[in-house]
Amino acid sequence: MPKTAAKTDGPIAFQDLVEASGIKFQLKNSISPQRYSIETMMGGVAVFDYNNDGLLDIFFTNGAQIPSLEKTDPSFYNRLYRNNGDGTFTDVTEKAGVKGVGYSMGVAAADYDNDGFVDLYVAGVNRNLLLHNNGDGTFTDVTEKAGVAGLVPTLGKAWAVAAGWFDYNNDGRLDLLVINYLDYNIADCKLCSIDNFRTYCDPTNFKGTSNILYRNNGDGTFTDVSAASHIGQYVGKGMGLAFADYDNDGFTDVFVSNDTFPNFLLHNNGDGTFKDVALETGTAYTSTGDVVAGMGAEFRDLNNDGLPDIFHTAMFGNTFPLYKNTGGQFDDITEVSGMTTFSRRMTAWSTGAFDFDNDGYKDLFIGGGAILDNEMEALHRPSLLPNGLLRNNGNFTFTDVGPGAGSSFMVPKAHRGAAFGDFNNDGKIDIVVNILNDKPQLFVNRTSNGNHWLILKLVGTKDNRDGLGTKIKVTTAEGVQYNHATTTVGYSSSSDKRVHFGLGKAAVVDKIELQWPTGVKQVLTHVKADQILTVVEGR
Ligand SMILES: [Ca+2]
Ligand SMILES: [Ca+2]
Ligand SMILES: [Ca+2]
Ligand SMILES: [Ca+2]
């Protein structure tokens, strides 16, 4: 990346370098006079290394023509950009064979067949796709053979907005959870207005749908275990999805933020079944008993006590709930954290908890954007909103540092999905944001404070090759901190599988303790900071 400094006065700095990157992508929703709900709900972005050259590449989902929901011309193609390592990217969509079909929404990247090459699952309105990475720069659509088309009993193909890969039964193979939104059919759906303006309908006008869990059989096929796992019995209006083992029982649990509907916290019982414990753990509603319009979600430890906390975005008039994990139960600390003041007048989609200033505490990115394209006409408030950036003060309070993060950071846009990873391998987490009817933002992290860092690239042997679900504890002279390997964060998007730690002034890590999902434990000692370290399971 060019070394030109961004003009900032805050503790965290980002510079949007999309213009110089060669990325020409525009997220196209085919906005219609009818204002079909699907139009405002897209779209996602994935950050992953498809060609194993150590440089993170970018995949954008894209829309389709309305009402056919077909990608009738190249402006609707999903797009894959290869990272050239010099700040530029090359469009390899057609060579790679990933242009896709249908009206796409979300994306989830992971190596489901443990062959060393990261594959893609694309979730959409009328088509879901599993794209197998052949290892030679091309992908093959294996959706039918794999049996992961996204069908729901009695509904048929459900409108999927997101998906995530995790090993729910700890057998070393990644399983697939598909998040479906509304029971919606563009041919005969309800249309809505505010005053004389046609607007996107409130989700309360539609029934919800159940989500889908596919178990990986290990032979390139999957079995729909939605019924057997009890995942399918929970009907919601899912948007955000995030994974963590919140009760440290060795099985990965699932958080789903639902839109204008109580959240799900799906406890993994360890016997192939899940139970929604949101109500009893205090994560279904806010502390005032309110249901909010849950959007992007995050499920990571924010106060370095080893217990993953829950955060999700919501819409104007709600607050963005922050739930502190107290050991299997959660306290709503939205008000005391400062989140209420920050979020009450904001609508946001993606989010992510990453330590952007490498001080040892994970900060929060928030992708702003109103629901309506004609929000000003219909509701007298702006449609385009800036992103938000909250610095973690380490005591469960956050400081709004967005305004000091650089002149390109606070530009109001229709931000949607966002993904996180270190594009230039300098140890500072960068962000790519997909934007409705616009080019994306490519925020390169220009924070300059000399703090140390460590990125772990996990290679599972007994476990899934990506090591997803591995819990990591890092001990330095400055204290302990925790993270876990997941690509599933925010809204509709998929982030780098590598696990990042900011280390503050510590130039060495005294101890790294890993617990892989199948139970394998591994300890590394006296590890030098400021490197990307490959950790092979059991070696
Ligand atoms: Ca690459
Ligand atoms: Ca693969
Ligand atoms: Ca658990
Ligand atoms: Ca931080």
- Predicted confidence (pLDDT) per residue in 465-517, tens digit: 999 999 999 999 999 999 999 999 999 999 999 999 999 999 999 999 999 99
Binning the chain into helix, strand and coil, the percentages to the nearest 5 are: 10, 40, 55
270 phi, psi to nearest 5 deg? 85, -5
How far apart are the CA of 269 and the centre of ligand 3, in A? 7
How far apart are the CA of 485 and the centre of ligand 3, in A? 15
- How large a percentage of the chain has pLDDT more than 70? 98
pLDDT at 154: 87
260 phi, psi to nearest 5 deg? 55, 40
Local structure of residue 440 (DSSP, 8 states):
P
> Model confidence at 5, in pLDDT bands (50, 70, 90)?
very low
Which of the ligands is closest to the CA of residue 398?
4
- Predicted confidence (pLDDT) per residue in 306-320, tens digit: 999 999 999 998 999
pLDDT at 276: 98
- 191 Cβ contact partners less than 8 Å away, ≥ 6 residues apart: 34, 35, 198, 201
Task: State how far the Cα of 384 lies from the Cα of 356, in Å rounded to an integer.
Answer: 24
- Tokens 């929404």 appear where? 105
- Predicted confidence (pLDDT) per residue in 169-207, tens digit: 999 999 999 999 999 999 999 999 999 999 999 999 999
How far apart are the CA of 300 and the centre of ligand 4, in A? 13
pLDDT at 2: 43
Q: What is the CB-side half-sphere exposure of residue 224 using CA atoms within 13 A?
A: 14
3-state secondary structure of 281: helix
359 phi, psi to nearest 5 deg? -100, 5
How far apart are the CA of 115 and the centre of ligand 2, in A? 5
pLDDT at 539: 77
Which of the ligands is closest to the CA of residue 364?
4
Name the token pair of 256: 């789903």
Nearest to 22 by CA among 94, 91, 99, 95: 91
How far apart are the CA of 501 and the centre of ligand 4, in A? 10
376 phi, psi to nearest 5 deg? -65, -45
- 539 Cβ contact partners less than 8 Å away, ≥ 6 residues apart: none
Around ion ligand 2, residues with a beta carbon closer than 5 Å are: 111, 113, 115, 117, 119
Name the token pair of 74: 């190249």
Name the token pair of 455: 């990125």
Name the token pair of 283: 């994560």
How far apart are the CA of 114 and the centre of ligand 2, in A? 5
Mean pLDDT over each residue of the chain, to the nearest integer: 96
How far apart are the CA of 104 and the centre of ligand 2, in A? 21
How far apart are the CA of 357 and the centre of ligand 4, in A? 5
Rounding to the nearest 10 degrees, give the CA dihedral for residues 331, 243, 128, 112.
180
Which of the ligands is closest to the CA of residue 447?
4
How far apart are the CA of 63 and the centre of ligand 3, in A? 36
Q: DSSP readout, 149-206?
A: S-EETTTEE--EEEEEEE-TT-SSS-EEEEEE-B---TTT---EEETTEEEPPPGGGS
Residue count of the chain, please give it: 539
Which of the ligands is closest to the CA of residue 84?
1
How far apart are the CA of 81 and the centre of ligand 1, in A? 9
Q: Are 232 and 238 in contact (CB under 8 A)?
A: no
Burial 23-33 (b: 16+ CB within 10 A, else e): bebbbbbbbee
521 phi, psi to nearest 5 deg? -110, 145
How far apart are the CA of 523 and the centre of ligand 1, in A? 29
> Model confidence at 8, in pLDDT bands (50, 70, 90)?
low
How far apart are the CA of 292 and the centre of ligand 1, in A? 38
Mean pLDDT of the region 376-389 = 96
- Looking at this protein, which amino acid is placed at residue 470? T
Mean pLDDT of the region 327-347 = 93
Rounding to the nearest 10 degrees, give the CA dihedral for residues 257, 258, 261, 266.
-60
Which of the ligands is closest to the CA of residue 357?
4
- Predicted confidence (pLDDT) per residue in 208-248, tens digit: 999 999 999 999 999 999 999 999 999 999 999 999 999 99
Which of the ligands is closest to the CA of residue 445?
4
How far apart are the CA of 50 and the centre of ligand 3, in A? 30
How far apart are the CA of 247 and the centre of ligand 3, in A? 5
Task: State how far the Cα of 504 lies from the Cα of 305, in Å rounded to an integer.
Answer: 17
Name the token pair of 190: 């309800």
Local structure of residue 383 (DSSP, 8 states):
S
Task: State how far the Cα of 456 lies from the Cα of 200, in Å rounded to an integer.
Answer: 42
- Predicted confidence (pLDDT) per residue in 402-439, tens digit: 999 999 999 999 999 999 999 999 999 999 999 999 99
Rounding to the nearest 10 degrees, give the CA dihedral for residues 457, 244, 133, 491.
-110
How far apart are the CA of 356 and the centre of ligand 4, in A? 5
Angle at 314 between CA 77 and CA 420, to 5 degrees: 50
Which of the ligands is closest to the CA of residue 90?
1
Nearest to 407 by CA among 3, 51, 2, 7: 7
